[in-house]
Amino acid sequence: MLEKLKEAYHFIFEDELLNEIHKSGQLKEFKAGEIIIDFGDYVKSMPLLLEGAIKVLREDSEGDELLLYFLERGDTCAMTLNCCMGTTKSEIRAVAERDTRLIMIPIEKMEEWTAQYKSWRNFVFESYHTRLTEMLDTIDTIAFLNMDERIMKYLQDKAKINQDEFVSSTHQQIAYDLHTSRVVVSRILKKLEIEGKIKLNRNQVEVLNL
């Protein structure tokens, strides 16, 4: 685990802190599609992503979901930081986008390292800033892009985060993530295929315009 930890975070943390993370953290593995953190969970630890990717979703009052952002190796989730520090229930759902390995950091260590290590403080503050920027991008996407552009951006983001131009998602899954209907998604995907931007396969979309 230490080797993977250093691969992902050596440019952020000093060796002393990496060894502390290795000693105190708990390694967890999740298969693609598994829920890592769910709505209403009490979050007692913070994830550091070693391998894979995670999508983070928010739920509205009617139970519909909206994709907020993706996490990849070297990231953490600012929403879980907020829950840990405030001991409040999770307001997000984190789902493994592909097979994922992460280290869970206990809340008491988060507080200790914030006081002890400047690199950890900088990482936490930078994570807040990055995730806030991504959520503002999501708001801009909803407010200013039409659904054609939103779906195309979603497919490009998924392809990049998974490092694969083939996006394995059903039309219904795309509709859930973008808070729209399957009928609308199917119609727009066919339009994008005619325009030469994607190629549709069974439960899979090939992104031609990366």
Q: Give pLDDT tens digits for 76-123.
A: 876 676 665 556 788 889 999 999 999 999 888 988 998 999 999 999
Distance CA 22, CA 193 (A): 47
Task: Supply the pLDDT for residue 61.
Answer: 76
Residue pLDDT, tens place only, 2-33: 888 888 898 999 999 999 999 999 999 999 99
Q: At what angle do helices 182-194 and 147-162 cross, to 10 degrees?
A: 80
Quote the pTM value. Answer: 0.80
Q: Which fold has domain 1-143?
A: Jelly Rolls (2.60.120)
Q: CB-based contacts of 133: which residues, under 8 Å, 6+ apart?
A: none
Q: Which residue has the tokens 């899954």?
A: 173
Least confident of 21-30, 129-138, 189-198: 129-138
- Domain-by-domain residue ranges, the chain? 1-143, 145-205
Q: Which fold has domain 145-205?
A: Arc Repressor Mutant, subunit A (1.10.10)
β partners of residue 51: 101
**Sheet containing strand 92-96, strands side by side:** 35-37, 92-96, 53-59, 65-72
Average pLDDT, the chain: 89
